Structure 1
Amino acid sequence: MTLPASLTGIFAHKQKSYKMVLVLAVLDMMEEQKKQEVPITLARTQFLKQLQSRESQGLPVDTPPESLGPRWSEIQGYQINSLIRTPIEALSSVLVHDTGKHTLRFVDSLRAQWSESVAQELRELALRELDAYYESQQPLTSVSLREHLLKVMSEYTAAKREPFSSHPLGTFVRHTIPQELHGLPFIDRQLRIQGSVGMGNWATVPWIAIMDRRITETTQQGEYIVYLFAHDMSAVYLAFHQGVTVPLKEKGKVEAYKYLRQKAAEIQAKLPLGGMRKDQDIQLMSTGLGQDYQASTVAYYRYDRDRMPSDEQLLADLKNVVENYKLYVELTLNQPDGGQEEQVLNPTPDEVLLPVTPISVPAQLKAIQAYIQQKGFHYPEHLIENFYLSMKTKPFVILAGVSGTGKTRLVKLFAEALGATSANRQFTLIPVRPDWSDPSDLLGYKDLSGVFRPGKLTEVLVEAAQPVNRDKPYFICLDEMNLARVEHYFSDLLSILETQDWEDGHIVTAPLIQQEALSLEEDRERFGDLRLPDNVYLIGTVNMDETTHPFSKKVLDRANTIEFNYINLAQFPSAGDEGAEPQATPASNTFLRTEYLQLVDVYRDYKSLVEETTEKLVSINGILEEIHSHVGFRIRDAICFYMIYNERFQLLNPDAAFDFQLLQKILPRVQGSSSSVKRVLLKLMEEALGRRLATQELMEDASELYASVSKIDSAKYPLSARKIAFMLRRLEEDGFTSYWLS
């Protein structure tokens, strides 16, 4: 390949076909004129001829700007003087417009390298890019964006007079529209789509947002794309927008408006934003939130309900905004600071907030590991990554093992490393009592006078749910949670975990405490309709001995169970653990909060990984069916989410990640004394070792499997293989086995 490096990426960003057409026109004139510098009038004429030729042949072609007319065939060369200026400026790094001589030529550094092969390769590149561009302009999908927008606008006013909960229009905005938009070819896996009609009550301005996860995962701050519906449903705006909640909270209204308008001007100067309005005439509502939207909008399209454009136009507009947004994200990430702005809330007199500077997930986990080691504690390799992925998958994790292995300490130190301490009430230790028999021991109860006495968990949930705290993670450690029967006192929490749904940028659940269950107005105001916030993480520690209760499958289905049974007593604090006081690296709740609630949310983006993981689970399920311990969709989805997060953040190799999931989600379900249990364990051992075994012979004596550690260490899934070997040994020696026997 002889094409100079400066030419290879000139078509990476394009809004129309004009850059490719211009390059082809210049190359045509250079060949015809036998010169490296051509009159701009000839290049302009050739540029127009190419567009007219495609139009006359019925091939896909960009439509002319409205100011020029409906068809290229009706346009004269002189009329496109201003239009052709756009691709000339876009190609200014490689193409020189000599205004004195009225010519176009490639820059001197390219002319020095010019040859027929360079010209030919550049022509081929332009033609490939042109074909790819026009192919992308073909009908994008069967989605009727026009019908979807009109449906919301025609039904929303009436819907607001009806009950909010489970309303079909809410489901349509939160799920149907985002799912269909995800099917568009220009929406890639980095883009998260979220719709909202309010949180608990109908919103005045419903919206559907498209966010690049690398720069923001919330509509409260950062930049994103959004459809905003006017309060009277007379119009909908497609806007390049800035989050306004955090700037208002940090700076106050006057300074926040000034900041947002200045930032909007900076973005407008960086991007083409062709065809979009850049004024502040976005009319959603007359005051309050309406003014916030005006100050924070960068550019927009307005669609009136009675003049809604065609689907083709709506999709073309959306594609244009997405391409501008992608260009902005690329420019932002290429800044020296990675595009991350330090987010610091002004501390109130009674609390001091550590600054949160977003960093990558791997970097954050390394900081956590360093903090824990500086505190003098060491945990097995990849435990921190596994603990993180488990919480990210579901905010309920069980740490199991013999007493004194550091389970409770892990929770405390992990929380501290993220700035969550007992002092700021973001870490709470709740010792479980053996006499707990119902949820009131954890949530609270009404006394004889009708006053509600909140439990320790409820107090944490109330604080975590406060708007000022929603971006802070809260950790609750249920210490020795199986001293009482978990299903008795924890049943309400287990059920509530299954009601998670998205509302207004947060995950919400059904109420834990109903309004009508409270007698006093002040109790109803404080505790009524209390939900499990998405910034609360429940971690239970358990010791498995004769004084504790086993777990039911209802519990195991909803948690990752991380075991602490392999202990290296010869591990000592290193010299590097001494010295300066360890420093926390606080993170916002988006670091830990799950992003996926249903497999459909990620299936398109991670189709091959989901199918590969599911194929393994189908094989394992076939084994477990013999003892009626097979898993359902809940566990399949949870394991897929774990594997997806692992791939996204590149934390573990895929086999190591699946090994953790086999160990934590599958093996805890296996227990018993029958030959069927032994046969299942042997088949699972085949999966863990990655090879076939002489199962019939091993049914008589399986000691060779647990007598040789070297064979286990070389297994495909060594952690699971080691646990299965232990379970087989207990079965042969004691006549009964369980994951939980220590």
Structure 2
Amino acid sequence: MSLPSVLANIFRSKQKSYKMVLILALLDEGAPGTKGVSLTKITERFRQTLIEREIKNFPVDTPTVNIGSSWQKASLQQMRSVITNPIEALSRPRIVWADFSKDMIGFHSNVLSLLNPSVVKELRALALQEIEEYYQNQNQPAPDRITSLISQLMNNYLKSKAEPFSAHPLGTLLRQTLPQELQNLPFIDERYKVQGSVGMGNWANVPWIAIMDKRITDTTQHGEYIVYLFSENMESVYLTLNQGVTVPLKQGRRLGYEYLEKRVKEIRAKLPLEGMQKDQNIFLTSSGLGKDYQVSTIAYIRYERDHLPNDDILIKDLKNMMENYECYVQSQIEVDGEDGEEDVNKVSDRDVQSILEQIKSYITRKGFTFPEHLIENYYLSLRTKPFLILAGISGTGKTKLVQLFAEALGATESNHQFNLIPVRPDWSDPSDLIGYLDLTGRFKPGRLTQVFLTASQPENKDKPYFVCLDEMNLARVEHYFSDLLSVMETRRWQDGRIITDILVGEEELQVIKDSADRIEGPRQEPTSVGIPDNVYIIGTVNMDETTYPFSKKVLDRAQTLEFNEIDLNQLPFEEDEALEFDGLTLAQSFLASDYLILKDAFPGNEALIQRTTERLVEINEILAEVHANIGFRVRDAICIYMVYDQRFGLLAEDEAFDLQLLQKILPRLQGSHSSLKRVLIQLMAFAVGQRLNVEELMEDASELYLRWRSRSDQPAACFAKSARKIAYMLRRMEEDGFTSFWLT
């Protein structure tokens, strides 16, 4: 009998023997027959297994720096820190679950049902076999593959900089080959993100390869990580424990350097850093980012191009650096766990998928079901920019989606974090939303200003606030929303937060205290109000004869999600108990923007941004025929959406781009002229990934929309959702002589 697929590959990626030891402990303590067992008991069994190997002089993993030289010296608290890593690694594929607050651990219900005696026996044998193979591989000398690749890079980089950048083999070496070699090392598992960069569009002066522990960072912009830095003259490469400089330097180089230097001293005091240099004699380049990294370096080992050590030494040095890094990461996790509720509620990237599953479960239990991946798309859209438009036929749950998603995050009407504002047809200026001067000259704040004031209070800045503008296009959006649209475009970084220009000034706010009862809790009188970075505005729209269309000014600034595909067979059946929850209370970090401009998202995402931009260039050439070209604002929004998607692993790349084509490109198209029909046919060719006879289809495009009218029997396409929408628009063009994305 072979193991079920869910169990067959659980040890494929490993850093140490810990995964196997944890599984053996769970099997030994009888967890297969029960829903859960004591985590303390499992931790003690885990420790005993390592101690037994140590006593018998069998190969055993070296204890981490903070434990000492022997597992026998490890306390239960220290072992809890060690066992956390394999628990996290096995909980992501839903093999095990653990509740530290209740001191319980066990196999997931989907695995429990598979654990008959034969599977238990085979799983135990696999774990024992993997342990022995792991230690055998530890003792086998490896060929000098890493040394050879680094030497190849350093000997050819300067010459390559004079050659075309795109698709250069040296870029592949640094972005893919070398990172994969490092990822294959036994002490670098799936907790770590390994990334290399030679620049974006142009050769970097200082190329690098970073190893990031995803528990504290998965971007080189901030946080701490290990990075190989190659000097500009390619005479040296430095293995460094370093800090991200992009975010700290947003407050200016002087203050940024002061922060980085302070952190260097603090971290050096925490770690042994034996065998490393702890000075500022690292030299990469005389200016630019290279100099910034010289300031941010905590410790380093320098290798000269003409005297590169063999793989044994390189790997030994890297393992030493990784052990120090692990010690630092554990100290950070422990500190975060002691900082109180605010830090507990902060969300790491690895938790996003599971939180979205819980949100979907919450919404389903409330009796609502939405199309597949809609919640992921909604989340990515909010993360990209805090302004969404939900469009579609009446009764599809647009307003309910906004309300229930907010409720699932702890934002409700009762705590004023969710606000429903119905739009009136007579709105012709911003006064109803922002405020106005009454006949006595006193300023009366509008409902949106009241939300901004509440969200701006110091005690509320880490809470998300949602505003649903219901039936947003009953009035002309450009008339009552124009001030907000303009202020949205002034978003910028200041002291680690996003701020905007002033929406309501000091003079108006002097009399706003008359409405203090509308603001909950202690208040700090603001001198002015912009749009707080913890406020998310979502408009719902129905497109019919009673509503107004949107201008490109609005569409360029929003993500447009369409609700027209309804499956009435979806009924509110009871959910699995394991997924039930009563709502979360999450900090603003779950939704907060990390990227305002495309440059913010570059590090580590160059290849994805390049691929996305190339697709948009092709689309822009098509749109040029009807003067519907997109600009930098739309390009940046689409690329940032794609970066978030890849970062959280929510959708396939083509699926994510399909949604962006549907949400950011197609809503711009409407009209009755033949050139628009030509553009739609060319976009259909792009969406399906095939050559189409444009001239023939200009006469009769019925074969396209007839082929795509049924969801159950559709041809293959690169971007199926967009193809289906384009087919519908072509049909309206031929039948009515006019078409628009918005027609229902």
- The alignment's TM-score, normalised by the length of structure 1, stands at 0.61
Give the length in aligned residue pairs: 521
How far does residue 330 in structure 1 lie from its aligned partner after superposition?
4.0
Q: 1:271·1:327 contact (CA, 8 Å) conserved in 2?
A: no
The yes-or-no answer on 1:504 pairing with 2:500 is no
Matched, 1:472 2:463: yes
- State the shift of 1:373 in Å: 1.2
| Counterparts of 2:211 and 2:458, CA distance in 1 | 29
1:486 aligns with 2:477: yes
CA contact (8 A) 2:358 2:580 kept: no
**Is 2:223 the partner of 1:211?**
yes
CA contact (8 A) 1:392 1:593 kept: yes
Deviation, structure 1 residue 184: 5.0
Partner of 1:735: 737
| 1:237 to 1:730, Cα distance in 2 relative to 1, 3 A | closer
Shift of 1:616: 1.0
Q: For 2:592 and 2:677, locate their aligned partners in 1 and report how far apart those are by CA, in whole Å.
A: 39
Q: Secondary structure at the match of 1:360?
A: helix
Q: 1:594 to 1:312 in 2, by over 3 A?
A: closer
> Equivalents in 1 of 2:275, 2:464: separation in Å?
37
Residue 341 in structure 1 maps to residue 337 in structure 2: yes
Q: 1:320 to 1:522 in 2, by over 3 A?
A: same
Is the partner of 2:298 in helix, strand or coil? helix
What residue in structure 1 maps to residue 617 of structure 2?
618
Tell me which residue corresponds to 2:552.
553
Matches within 5 A, 1:124-139: 124=144
Matched, 1:420 2:398: no
Q: What code does the residue aligned with 2:726 have? A: I
Of 565-574 and 582-591, more deviation after overlay is shown by 582-591
Contact 2:337/2:344 (8 A) holds in 1: no
Change in Cα spacing, 1:685 to 1:673, as seen in structure 2 (3 Å) is same
SS state at 1:608 partner: helix
Residue of structure 2 aligned with 1:447, choices 427, 438, 462: 438
Partner of 2:700: 701
- Preserved CA contact (<8 Å) 1:191 1:210: no
In structure 2, C-alpha distance between the alignment counterparts of 1:486 and 1:129, rounded to whole Å: 57
Query: Cα offset for 1:450?
Result: 2.6
Q: Taking structure 1 as reference, are residues 563 and 327 closer, same or farther at Cα in structure 2, changes over 3 Å only?
A: farther
CA gap 1:513/1:704 in 2 versus in 1, 3 angstroms: same
Specify which of 713, 716, 726 is matched with residue 714 of structure 1: 716
- In structure 1, the partner of 2:391 is 400
Partner-residue secondary structure (3-state), 1:567: coil
Residue 597 of structure 1 deviates from its aligned partner by 1.2
The whole-number CA distance in structure 1 between the counterparts of 2:250 and 2:542 is 52
Per-residue deviation, residues 675-734 of structure 1 (Å, max 9, x unmatched) = 111111111111111101122221122111111236745221111111111111111111
3-state SS in 1 of match to 2:439: coil
In structure 2, do the counterparts of structure 1 residues 712 and 623 end up closer, same or farther at CA, with 3 Å as the change threshold?
farther
Q: Which amino acid aligns with 1:483?
A: L
SS of match in other structure, 2:538: strand
CA gap of 1:342–1:534, structure 2 versus 1, over 3 A, is farther
Cα displacement (A) at 1:126: 9.5
Output aligned runs, 1:344-383, within 5 Å: 344-345=340-341, 360-383=351-374
SS at match of 1:562: strand
Write the deviation string for residues 431-476 of structure 1: whole angstroms up to 9, x where unpaired.
1111111111101112122322111111111111112211111111
Query: Aligned in 2, Cα 1:658/1:209: closer, same or farther, shift over 3 Å?
Result: closer
Q: How far apart, CA to CA, are the structure 2 residues paired with 1:314 and 1:354?
A: 32
Distance 1:641-1:714 versus aligned 2 partners, 3 A rule: same
The separation in 1 between residues aligned to 2:251 and 2:536, in whole angstroms, is: 35
Instruction: Give the letter aligned to residue 738 of structure 2.
Output: F
Q: Could you tell me which residue of structure 2 aligns to residue 318 of structure 1?
A: 296
Unaligned runs of 5+ in 2: 1-13, 17-64, 71-131, 162-201, 215-219, 227-242, 302-319, 516-523
Maintained 8 Å contact 2:434/2:445: yes
Q: Residue 268 of structure 1 aligns with which residue? A: 270
Is the partner of 1:430 in helix, strand or coil? strand
Tell me if structure 2 keeps the 8 A contact 1:224–1:241: no
Q: Is the 8 A contact 1:342 1:355 kept in 2?
A: no
Paired letter, 1:320: I
Answer whether contact 2:361 2:580 (CA < 8 A) is retained: no
SS in 2 for 1:646: helix
Structure 2 CA distance for aligned equivalents of residues 546 and 311 of structure 1: 56
Structure 2 counterpart of 1:586, one-letter code: T
Matches within 5 A, 1:158-307: 184-185=206-207, 188=210, 210-212=222-224, 236=258, 238-239=260-261, 241=263, 268-269=270-271
What residue in structure 2 maps to residue 645 of structure 1? 644
**Aligned residue runs from structure 1 range 35-114, under 5 A:** none
User: What amino acid maps onto 1:572 in structure 2?
Assistant: L
Partner in structure 2 of residue 678 of structure 1: 677
Q: Distance in 2 between matches of 1:711 and 1:449?
A: 66
Change (3 A) 1:276 1:388: same
After superposition, the C-alpha distances for 1:508-542 in whole angstroms (9 at most, x for unaligned) are 01111122456659589845420111111110000
Instruction: Please name the residue that 1:18 is paired with.
Output: none
Q: What is the match of residue 592 of structure 1?
A: 591
Q: Deviations over 1:175-216 (max 9, x none)?
A: xxxxx9x97545849699xxxxxxxxxxxxxxx9942599xx
What secondary structure sits across from 1:499 in the alignment? coil
Q: C-alpha offsets along residues 131-155 of structure 1, whole Å, 9 cap, x if unaligned?
A: 799999x9xx9xxxxxxxxxxxxxx
Does the C-alpha gap of structure 1 residues 403 and 334 become closer, same or farther in structure 2, counting only changes over 3 Å? Answer: same
Distance 1:412 1:312, change over 3 A: closer
Are the structure 2 counterparts of residues 578 and 729 from structure 1 closer, same or farther at C-alpha, using a change threshold of 3 Å? farther
Structure 1: how far apart are the matches of 2:321 and 2:425?
56
8 Å contact 1:354–1:419 — kept in the other structure?
no
Partner of 1:659: 658
Contact 1:670-1:738 within 8 A present in 2 as well: yes
Displacement of 1:128 after TM fit?
Answer: 6.1
Residues 267, 569 of structure 1: alpha-carbon distance in 2 compared, 3 angstrom cutoff: farther
The DSSP-based 3-state class of the residue aligned with 2:489 is helix
Give the percent of matched residue pairs that are identical in Structure 1 and Structure 2: 48
Pair 337,381 (structure 1): closer, same or farther in 2 beyond 3 Å: farther
Distance in 1 separating the partners of 2:273 and 2:538: 46
Shift of 1:317: 5.7
- How many Å separate the matches in 2 of 1:397 and 1:331? 42
Q: Distance in 2 between matches of 1:733 and 1:541?
A: 28
Q: Residue 189 of structure 1 contacts residue 605 of structure 1 at CA under 8 Å; is this kept in 2?
A: no
Report if aligned partners of 1:399, 1:539 keep a CA contact under 8 Å in 2. yes
Cross-structure match for 1:434: 425
Gap change, CA 1:341 and 1:536, over 3 Å in 2: same
Normalised by the length of structure 2, the TM-score is 0.60
- Return 514-523 or 490-499, whichever deviates more: 514-523
Moved more, 556-565 or 460-469: 460-469
Compared CA separation, residues 113 and 567, structure 1 to 2 (3 A): closer
Partner of 2:375: 384
The one-letter amino acid of 1:576's match is: E
Q: Distance in 2 between matches of 1:624 and 1:398?
A: 23
Give the superposition deviation at 1:363. Answer: 1.4
Unpaired segments ≥5 residues, structure 1:
1-7, 11-88, 95-108, 142-179, 193-207, 215-222, 243-260, 278-300, 303-307, 347-352
